[in-house]
Structures are given as structure tokens and as C-alpha cells.
Chains A and B, each alone.
Chain A
Amino acid sequence: MEAIIEYISSNQQEFYVFILAIFVGIEVISKVPTVLHTPLMSGSNALSGVVIVGSIIVLGKTDPANYLALSLGFLAVLLATLNVVGGFAVTNRMLEMFKKKPGKK
């Protein structure tokens, strides 16, 4: 318990960012119309692919002789890239069909 409290107090900046970001996230999408729910879900899913930054660093800092860590890191970069690239591409396709709809109405 003490260790956790100490961790929080020595990383105060991170925790302030943490709390403020929660409110920002809620604030920016609070007025989203129902039709945009799925594209927004897909778009924010692509953003959670930001773990790619961590996976690049982890693979980059791995000892080239440690094959287990290398393959795990390789897999992490591969999967995170799938998340980012696929996420943005599929969101773009969703929004493309969204653009045509108002013409029909």
C-alpha cells in the first residue's frame, strides 16, 4: 500500500494528466449523434493502437541475443500496426459510405 502511495506521489504529473485526460475524453464526444457511434468507436479503436509507440520502443531496446523477447516484441509491433493501420483504414471506409447517405434523404 505504502509503495503505491509513494508511486503516485512521485509521479504526480502523470496522474494529473491522467485525470484531466478523462474529462477531455468525455467532453469531446459528448454531443455525438447516433449515426456516428460506430465510426467513432472504430476511430477511437485506431487511436488505442498508440501502443505501437511502446512496442517499437520495447523491440528496439531488446537485446538482439534474447530470442524469446525478440519474438514477443516482434509480435507486439506487428499486432499494434494491424490495429493502427486497419483501424484508420476501416474508419475511413465507414465514413465514406456515410457521406453518400444525405443525398438519399
Chain B
Amino acid sequence: MILQIIDICYLVAVVLFILGIKMMSHPDSARRGNGIALSGMLLAIIASFLTPGLDNLILIIIAMALGTIGGLYSAKTVQMTAMPQLVSFFNGMGGAAAALIGLVEYGDLPVDDIGKGSVLMASLVIGSVSFSGSMIAMGKLQGVIKDIRINKILGFLVLAAAVGLAIYVLNSGEPQPILVYLLIFLSLIYGLLFVYPIGGADMPVVISLLNALTGVTAATTGLLYDNKVMLMGGILVGSAGLLLTLLMAKAMNRSVSNILFTSFGTASGAA
């Protein structure tokens, strides 16, 4: 019975997410849309607390209380001009959370389950990239991190190494905790190399893209648990975020490939 109630709560939460995003894309209803999306999220959180066999409740509540205080405090005190940085910071936190879930789950997953294993590797890699990328994007908007010229090929090499490593870990047939840490490390480095060479003015577009990536990790985590609310919510953010990235680039008269694959030094000349 309780499982059915949880499922229905998740279903309603997904509907509220869709309605919320839809209303957020119209000026008149945008604020109400945010409230509706928030109520969907609260419903999903309450439902997840009903999961049978949940232990460590005190730890969960302490962690949530700390997160709530930190989130509310930083959102209320931030300067209006510094809001994009804060969004980037929060986005990085979501990516990191997804990667951490993957890390904890790695120990429990049977090594011969290649299907779920691939999903887990995707969570680890994309979550870590989203985390380190968001941190760099935040630093750039804040002006703490200067633009540095890095050959983009270096980034692709690191990414290729990470993907190769993930495939090796999957096929090795035994648990490889050290290699999984190395995989996370490589992914973090790729996130840095991905965002470093992009000029500060293009950061909003990059943050939107990283936001879409965090959505994808939420979805892969949902696949891991067969959890529909995470799957739907994550993919919704992933696809809406990707379209938003394209729209934002268009509004700036830039193309996404121009932003991502051209070094910032030459970008102004090419555009």
C-alpha cells in the first residue's frame, strides 16, 4: 500500500514539475510557476521519506537542515548582480550530489550488471564534470578566475581517457574502487578544461549547459533506482536546459558551437 502511495506522489510531483516549468516560461505566471515546481519538489521529498526500511533518519534531517539554512541564507543575502554565480554554485552542488550517490552505490552494485553499471558510470562522470565546470564558471563570473588559454584538444584527451577507463572498469568483472576514484578525478579535470578556455562573457550560456548536464545526471540516478520522479524531472531539466542554452546563445547572436569549440581569443574575430 505504502509503495503505491509513494508512486502516486511521484506522479503528481512530475505533473507539478511540468506545469511549473511551463508557467515559468510566461512572464505573468512565472512566480506562481516557481511555487508550483517547489510544491512538486516538497511532495517528492515527503514521498521519498516514506520509502520502507529507511534508516539514519537523524543524519538525513541534520543534513537537510544544514542545507536549508545554507541555501536560504545565500539566496537571501546575495547581491542581485551576483545571482548567476550563485545559480552556478547551486548547480555544481546538484552535480556533486549525483556523483556522490553514484560513488556510494558503486559498492553495492553487482559487478556483472553491465546495464546498471553503465548508468552508474554516466552519473559519476557527468556529475563530476558538472560540479567542477560549475565551480570554474562561478569563479569566472565572480572575476576570481581569469581566462586562460588551454588547447581544447587536451580536454578531449582527458574525456577520452575517462570514457576508456569507465569501459575498462565495467568489463573488468571485479570491483575497482581505486580506478573509480581515478575516474572521478579525470572527470573533474575535464570539467575544468572544458570551462577554462571559454570567455567570461559566454558564461551564462555555459551555466545553462551545465545545468542541463546536472539534469541528465539526475535522470541517470533515477534509472539506477528505477525512480520515475528523478528520471522525468532530470530529463525535463536536461532537454529544457539544452533548448534554453540554444535560445540564450541565439539571443547573444552567438552559436553554441562557436562558444564551446572556439578559443575565446579568436571568437570575437570569427563572429
Contacts and interface: CB of A to CB of B under 8 A. Distances in A.
B259 interface: no
Interface stretch (B155-163, B221-229, B263-271): B221-229
A49 B93 CA distance: 9
B31 A44 contact: no
B231 A64 contact: no
Interface string A79-91: 1111111111111
Interface in A28-51: 28-51
A52 B21 CA distance: 19
Given A25-B235, A83-B91, A55 B243 contact: no
B175 to A, nearest CB: 14
Contacts of A14: 223, 226, 231
B161 to A, nearest CB: 21
Contacts of B165: none
A85 B71 CA distance: 5
B16 to A, nearest CB: 10
Given A21-B239, A51-B101, 19 more contacts: A8-B115, A21-B235, A31-B25, A33-B25, A37-B244, A37-B251, A39-B34, A40-B240, A47-B20, A47-B233, A49-B41, A52-B45, A70-B56, A74-B62, A80-B94, A83-B71, A84-B45, A94-B83, A96-B31
The 10 closest A-B pairs by CB, nearest first: A7-B115, A81-B67, A25-B239, A86-B71, A85-B71, A89-B75, A3-B114, A60-B54, A21-B235, A83-B94
